[in-house]
Amino acid sequence: MAAASTASPERKSVKRKHYNIALVSDFFYPQPGGVELHMYHLAQNLIARNHSVIIITHAYGDRQGIRMLTNGLKVYYIPHLVFYRQSTFPNVFSAFPIIRQIFLRESIEIVHGHGSCSSLCHEGLVHGNTMGLKTVFTDHSLFGFADVASIIHNKLLKFTLVDIGHVICVSHTCKENTVIRASIDPSIVSVIPNAVVHDDFKPAPVRPSLNKIKVVVISRLFPNKGADLLTAIIPRICANRPEINFLIAGDGPKFIDLEQMRERYQLQDRVELIGSVRHEQVRDVMIQGQIYLHPSLTEAFGTVLVEAASCGLLVVTTNVGGIPEVLPSKMTIFAVPEEDSLVDAVEKAVVKLKENEVDTSTFHSEVKKMYDWADVAKRTEKVYDDVYERENTLLINRLIKYYNAGSWAGILYVLCIVSDFLILGVLEIFYPKNKVDFARKWPRKNNNINDND
């Protein structure tokens, strides 16, 4: 990357710093999803770059305590938060004692929260700030401004991001959204996209023939994922073109609608509904088809599009949210979220494939160049370098910042921060820092292979 090379000369003299990083989020394995995968791959690649990474999440059922994943990735499943998970009231202080213990135990320097819906992430960032650690936040989702849920979310986000070190967004649209939602300076917001593991998304060794076109859809079947559009266009496409079949993976409240549509139009042998699939199986599902259809109504990034392109599928998608930024026009056919437009786009895709206008065989190698977790980790590391060098804000300046964040909310924010400091003091008395049992770190690789790139 060009930008990285310009920044490296002045840092070359200094020995590269290896950080102790805590990724904090409510969402992690065993729950499936984009944030979870992002965190896991980011952690793995940071470990590969000789950082020490832990993940803090809440307990999932009997999955409590500390678990070790590949390459010494330590995951803390905090038990007591599960109870509060459904609660809409932001729990500002409840996890502070345990989070402080973990931060001290692992001698954390950088707290990196993920997902604006996660209250644990917000707590981690606020308490991290209070403890004088550096904070980074990654936003994975888009929010509107009109409904009550969004307003509450945005207030909460504003509170967390008042004194954030740096924010990472997964797309430029997401950046615009986050900057407005939290009213922060756009210069501390970086755009670092998601990536895919290329080896897990290789195209089919033998490409399916073009006599029968199979359109693959992998999506949770929710209204905001465009399930209604999907239900509307399938019968029309099936009536127009007898060679098109559908393969739909995913579950959700709109599954019934799809089933009913299939019954009504007698499309049992042309529309296959296989329910939810695990992420490991996504590739096996994808390579059965030639076209990937994505009718979503909102999307911050759309990792699944990259996965589909990496599997050598031609992508037909709605141009909403951050989707237009994700893939080049030769891999995608864009439609507006309307029934007619989507039907046209699918038919255009079929024609393009049949007339050999697109060469899907090169998609995999091209996507490989575009999105790579190692690259994401490198760029994230630059963000860490940036925040690490920054001075901590003085408490009084911090309070002024919080006070100015809103007319009524500002007072509330200040109250929260002041009590956070008091709680920190109390914790310092009851569990002094020098009594904390420091964890031994997983042995770092001593070769500096990554230092010279």
Partner 1 sequence: MSTVFSPSEDALVLKKKKSGLNNSSYSFKEHRKHYSLSFSTGWKKLLWLKQPYEDNYTDASFLSQLKRNSTVVKYSYRKLVSDFSLVVLHLSLIMSVIVVFYGTYRLNWNPLKPAMLSTALTFAGFIFYVVTLNIRRNKELIELQQLKIRQLYATPTGNNISSSSVNSNTIDINEVFDPESIDLEDYLTEPSPPNFYETFKSSMLIILYLLTLSPVLKSLTNSTSSDSIWALSAWLSILNVMFNDYQIDFPRVSEKEKRLHWQTIFKQNYSIISSNQLSRSSSSSISKDQNNLQTDSKISLLSRGKPNFQLTSNRLSDLHTQKAHKSNFSKNIAVSNAIVLASRLQSNASAFSFILFCIQACGLFPIFNNFTRRCELQGFHYFQLTSIVLTVDVIVWYLFGLGWFIVWISLHLLIVIVGPWYFLTLQKYKDELQGPWDPAKPIVKSL
Q: Is 307 in the site for partner 1 (CB under 8 A)?
A: no
As measured in angstroms, the least distance from the Cβ of 336 to partner 1 is 8
Question: In the stretch 147-176, what mask flags binding to partner 1 with x, by CB under 8 A?
Answer: -------------------x-x--xxxx-x
As measured in angstroms, the least distance from the Cβ of 47 to partner 1 is 21
Q: Is 145 in the site for partner 1 (CB under 8 A)?
A: yes
How far apart CA 301 and CA 324 sit, in angstroms, is: 9
Q: According to CB under 8 A, which one of 276, 324, 401, 421 is a site residue for partner 1?
A: 324
Q: Is 451 in the site for partner 1 (CB under 8 A)?
A: no
As measured in angstroms, the least distance from the Cβ of 83 to partner 1 is 31
Q: According to CB under 8 A, which one of 318, 349, 399, 410 is a site residue for partner 1?
A: 318
Judged by CB under 8 A, the stretch of 26-34, 79-87, 140-148, 399-407 that binds partner 1 is 140-148
Residues 6+ apart with CB under 8 A from 188: 164, 165, 166, 167
At CA 65, angle to CA 168 and CA 373, rounded to 5? 30
Question: In the stretch 193-232, what mask flags binding to partner 1 with x, by CB under 8 A?
Answer: x------------------------------x-x-xx-xx
Judge whether 313 and 360 are in contact, CB under 8 Å: yes
- CA distances, 324 to each of 197, 231, 321, 341 (Å): 21, 23, 7, 16
- Determine how many CB atoms are found less than 10 A away from the CB of residue 73: 20
CA neighbor of 142 nearest in space, from 38, 328, 248, 297: 297
Q: According to CB under 8 A, which one of 211, 329, 446, 447 is a site residue for partner 1?
A: 329
As measured in angstroms, the least distance from the Cβ of 311 to partner 1 is 16
The smaller minimum CB distance to partner 1, of residues 263 and 451, is found at 263
Interaction with partner 1 in 409-448: which residues (CB under 8 A)? Answer: none
Query: Can you read off the two tokens belonging to residue 196?
Result: 């895919």
Interaction with partner 1 in 37-96: which residues (CB under 8 A)? Answer: none
Sheet holding 213-218, edge to edge: 271-275, 244-249, 213-218, 291-294, 314-318, 332-335
Q: Is 187 in the site for partner 1 (CB under 8 A)?
A: yes
Q: Is 319 in the site for partner 1 (CB under 8 A)?
A: yes
Judged by CB under 8 A, the stretch of 1-9, 49-57, 60-68, 112-120 that binds partner 1 is 1-9
303 three-class SS: helix
How far apart CA 195 and CA 34 sit, in angstroms, is: 10
Question: In the stretch 241-260, what mask flags binding to partner 1 with x, by CB under 8 A?
Answer: -------------------x
The smaller minimum CB distance to partner 1, of residues 176 and 277, is found at 176
Q: Is 34 in the site for partner 1 (CB under 8 A)?
A: no
CA neighbor of 65 nearest in space, from 101, 57, 41: 57
Q: According to CB under 8 A, which one of 200, 284, 338, 428 is a site residue for partner 1?
A: 338
As measured in angstroms, the least distance from the Cβ of 187 to partner 1 is 3
Q: According to CB under 8 A, which one of 66, 68, 149, 180 is a site residue for partner 1?
A: 180
As measured in angstroms, the least distance from the Cβ of 188 to partner 1 is 7
Question: In the stretch 287-306, what mask flags binding to partner 1 with x, by CB under 8 A?
Answer: --------x-xx-xx-----
Residues 6+ apart with CB under 8 A from 34: 140, 194, 301, 303
The smaller minimum CB distance to partner 1, of residues 307 and 420, is found at 307
Size of interface with partner 1, in residues (CB under 8 A): 72
- Determine how many CB atoms are found less than 10 A away from the CB of residue 83: 12
The smaller minimum CB distance to partner 1, of residues 133 and 376, is found at 376
Judged by CB under 8 A, the stretch of 25-33, 53-61, 115-123, 180-188 that binds partner 1 is 180-188
Q: According to CB under 8 A, which one of 57, 138, 317, 332 is a site residue for partner 1?
A: 332
For 118-137, the DSSP string reads -HHHHHHHHHHHHTT-EEEE
Interaction with partner 1 in 258-277: which residues (CB under 8 A)? Answer: 260-261, 263-266
Query: Can you read off the two tokens belonging to residue 385?
Result: 């370098």
Q: According to CB under 8 A, which one of 18, 348, 379, 401 is a site residue for partner 1?
A: 379
Q: Is 406 in the site for partner 1 (CB under 8 A)?
A: no
User: What pairing do the DSSP bridges indicate for beta strands 314-318 and 332-335?
Assistant: parallel
Instruction: Using CB atoms within 10 Å of the CB of residue 440, give its burial: 0 to 12 exposed, 13 to 18 middle, 19+ buried.
Output: exposed
The alpha carbons of the chain give a radius of gyration, in whole angstroms, of: 24
Query: Can you read off the two tokens belonging to residue 145?
Result: 């401004």
How far apart CA 12 and CA 17 sit, in angstroms, is: 11
The smaller minimum CB distance to partner 1, of residues 95 and 195, is found at 195
How far apart CA 248 and CA 276 sit, in angstroms, is: 9
